[in-house]
Amino acid sequence: MSTFDVINPATEEVITSVPSLSLEETDAAIARAHAAFPSWRAVAPGDRARLLRRFAAIVDEHLEELAQLEVANAGHTISNARWEAGNVRDVLDYYAGAPERHTGLQIPVPGGINATFHEPLGVVGIIVPWNFPMPIAGWGFGPALAAGNTVVLKPAEITPLTAVRLGELALEAGIPEGVFQVLTGKGSVVGWRFVTHPSVAKVCFTGSTEVGTRIMAGCAEQVKKVTLELGGKSANVVFADADLELAAARAPYGVFDNAGQDCCARSRILVEASAFDRFMELLEPAVKGVVVGDPTSEVTEMGPLVSAAQREVVTSFVPDGAPIAFQGECPQGPGFWFPATVLAPVAPGDRAVEEEIFGPVVVVMPFRDEADAIRLANDTPYGLSGSIWSRDIGRALRTARGIDAGNLSVNSHSSVRYWTPFGGFKQSGIGRELGPDALNSFSDVKNVFISTED
């Protein structure tokens, strides 16, 4: 059987290897999911809710094990990894409330009664990237299962371990065989089969805009439903009237969390010109204060990049002669380390200004006024996230309304709360995950008219 190695990014040691499934094995799993669908959709809403709650409870019991697995597989800091495992539990608990509440409408019409039903789609294929293996998986399978679908899920090649464990825990919780399967393997084989297989009713993809574009085109061939959560180049807009000390202290965590491998990373800091020099004075100690090192340590704030390949990509954004304003430190020796790096002043058109870096590198640029801030923030094909720092709440709200992005926060860098919708404008994606509406993207509305005429 073909396999691939899983490597610890902090030590470069091979942890284990996992199967790389063939097309035939993928088809067999899709067939099992298809066969499991009629009985799963027929499980009474209260029973489906109970199973999802039990799944959440079992994830909670294994929270530390899952977190340690993610530290070893993805190099996430232990504190982040615990939050991520907890997020899977919370998302399952949240959507466990859904089967009993996913109500339709009764609409007044002449001559009878009209009712709508939310019908599950069938088999849903979920394709997950390597940067947040647990939460992104959970945002897909939680609402998909709650809505009555069966799920085949493909983790990224290099970070499969927590997803595989979640698949085992689902069975332990009593989720029937075939309802939730984790398939390890290549994107071009397993992932692409979700796109081409006629029994997969929907593809839920999170990853690069480049692959997402191909997935959307492939799904179009069968008019297959698709949700895309793609890249970002988000802005952190700091007005001169903000609490500059707080804005500078928090700015590193808005971009360097998960070593910058975050689709919501605020990788462009835009600062009102009159406050630019003061902000940079405050930012330098904040960046140098980020604790980088052994991800198993409770005090570590930033670990390594996920792979040697990703370190090469990030390095290409900081070539010799790059305008480095200041840089933090990172361990030498084994591990895919890269220091927190601040670039300024940067020329417009610099790759670091325009492209998603997905590493701990940020550019800082001045703006003139509110209109200029909005223009610069929107000067990107992406539109996922962003932050606005100001004491003037009217201005902050106007700016938030002016920025074309799906998830904005004021005086905070929070992007993801499972109670609220998450997703992108422009080339950052299509559709929304999380929040009360996610169920609607895993079901179709059926309209039934019943005549009451004699």
Active site amino acids = 229, 263
**Bridge partners of residue 123, in order along the sequence:** 150, 200
**Bridge partners of residue 108, in order along the sequence:** 113
Q: Are 127 and 191 in contact (CB under 8 A)?
A: yes
Angle 359-286-265 from CA coordinates, rounded to 5°: 30
Q: Shortest approach of ligand NAD to residue 157 CB, angstroms?
A: 5
Stretch that binds ligand NAD, among 48-56, 126-134, 164-172, 395-403 (CB under 6 A): 126-134
Q: What is the largest CA-CA distance in the chain?
A: 84
Q: Which is nearer to ligand NAD, 175 or 230 (CB)?
A: 230
Question: E strands, 44-109, where?
Answer: 106-109
The answer to whether residue 16 forms part of the interface with ligand NAD (CB under 6 A) is no
Cα gap 163→169, rounded to integer Å: 10
Which amino acid is it at 271?
Answer: V
Q: Shortest approach of ligand NAD to residue 156 CB, angstroms?
A: 4
Q: Which is nearer to ligand NAD, 148 or 207 (CB)?
A: 207
Binding to ligand NAD, residues 363-402 (CB under 6 A) = 384
The residue within the footprint of ligand NAD, chosen from 143, 304, 429, 431 (CB under 6 A), is 429
The residue within the footprint of ligand NAD, chosen from 75, 122, 138, 187 (CB under 6 A), is 187
Q: Are 280 and 343 in contact (CB under 8 A)?
A: no
Q: Are 328 and 292 in contact (CB under 8 A)?
A: yes
Binding to ligand NAD, residues 277-306 (CB under 6 A) = none
Site string for ligand NAD, 128-167 (x = CB under 6 A): xxxxx---x-----------------x-xx----------
The residue within the footprint of ligand NAD, chosen from 74, 152, 175, 211 (CB under 6 A), is 211
Cα gap 200→226, rounded to integer Å: 11
The answer to whether residue 335 forms part of the interface with ligand NAD (CB under 6 A) is no
Rg for the chain (alpha carbons), in Å?
A: 23
H or E element that contains 341 = strand 341-343
Cα gap 270→32, rounded to integer Å: 51
Stretch that binds ligand NAD, among 187-195, 323-331, 336-344, 438-446 (CB under 6 A): 187-195
The residue ranges that bind ligand NAD (CB under 6 A) are: 127-132, 136, 154, 156-157, 187-188, 191-192, 206-208, 211, 214-215, 229-232, 263, 356, 358, 384, 424, 428-429
